[in-house]
């Protein structure tokens, strides 16, 4: 193993396996921080009127909370250099109990020459994938 990669890190290692609950309060806070006040994120009647099953989480909020467990694992020994996802399904946030995201992060590729690794995320809600091709490239240099 190179001196750049943390000792013992191997392809297939699970670096995070956790759940994060989004609530309607989470959506309000995110809307305030992001400026995205689209009513599909807080009004059931509007969401239903446009064909959604109910109020949905902001895509970027879902993407952001999905990478947080990787950041927690990575800090302070490295940094994220690239992160991308494809949105596949909306996350419906019920008034109670909200929406529980299951997040699993696995080391997929290690590049000893550059000191980088690719972490693949599996993000599900109600046992269905909500983010596809969710990949985080991290650097330990």
Flag whether 91 is in a domain. Answer: yes
pLDDT above 70 (res 31): yes
- Evaluate whether 74 touches 140 at the Cβ level (below 8 Å): no
Helix crossing, 24-34 with 59-74: angle to 10°?
Answer: 90
pLDDT band at 1 (very low <50, low <70, confident <90, very high): very low
What distance in Å separates the CA atoms of residue 140 and residue 12, rounded to the nearest whole number? Answer: 18
Decide if 43 is inside a domain: no
Q: Which pLDDT belongs to residue 2?
A: 59
Sheet holding 128-139, edge to edge: 14-22, 99-111, 116-125, 128-139, 79-87
Q: Would you say residue 115 lies in a domain?
A: yes
Q: Domain containing 94: what range?
A: 14-23+58-139
CATH number at residue 65: 3.10.129.10
Residue 9 has a pLDDT of 95
CA angle (67 as vertex; 136, 115 as ends), nearest 5:
35
Residue 3 has pLDDT above 60, yes or no: yes
141 pLDDT higher than 90: no
Between the CA of residue 137 and those of 30, 50, 60, what are the distances in Å? 25, 36, 18
| Residue 16 in this model has a pLDDT that exceeds 70 | yes
In-domain check, residue 132: yes
* pLDDT single digits (tens) 43-83: 999 999 999 999 999 999 999 999 999 999 999 999 999 99
Domain count of the fold of the chain:
1
Q: Using one digit for the tens of pLDDT, what is the confidence trace for 68-126? A: 999 999 999 999 999 999 999 999 999 999 999 999 999 999 999 999 999 999 999 99
Is residue 33 domain-resident? no
Question: Does residue 122 sit within a domain?
Answer: yes
Residues whose CB is less than 8 angstroms from the CB of residue 28 and which lie 6 or more positions away in sequence, other chains included: 42
- Assigned domain for 124 exists: yes
Query: Pick the residue with more confidence: 4 or 67?
Result: 67
Question: Quick check: 137 pLDDT over 90?
Answer: yes
| CA separation, residue 47 to residues 51, 52, 75 (Å) | 7, 5, 38
Residue 35 located in a structural domain: no
- CB count, 10 Å around CB of 86? 9
Q: Give the per-residue pLDDT at 4.
A: 81
SS (H, E, C) 94-132: CCCCCEEEEEEEEEEEEECCCCEEEEEEEEEECCEEEEE
């Amino acid at each position: 193993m190179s001196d750049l990669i943390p000792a013992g890190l191997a392809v297939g290692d699970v670096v995070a396996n956790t759940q994060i609950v989004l609530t309607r309060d989470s959506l309000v806070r995110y809307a305030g921080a992001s400026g995205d006040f689209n009513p599909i994120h807080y009004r059931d009647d509007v969401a239903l009127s446009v064909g959604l099953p109910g109020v949905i989480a902001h895509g970027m909020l879902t993407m952001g909370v999905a990478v947080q467990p990787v950041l927690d694992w990575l800090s302070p020994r490295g940094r994220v250099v690239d992160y991308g996802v494809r949105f596949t399904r909306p996350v419906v946030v019920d008034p109670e109990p909200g929406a529980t995201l299951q997040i699993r992060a696995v080391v997929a590729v290690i590049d000893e020459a550059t000191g980088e690794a690719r972490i693949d995320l599996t993000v599900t809600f109600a046992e269905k994938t909500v983010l596809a091709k969710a990949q985080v490239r991290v650097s330990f240099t």
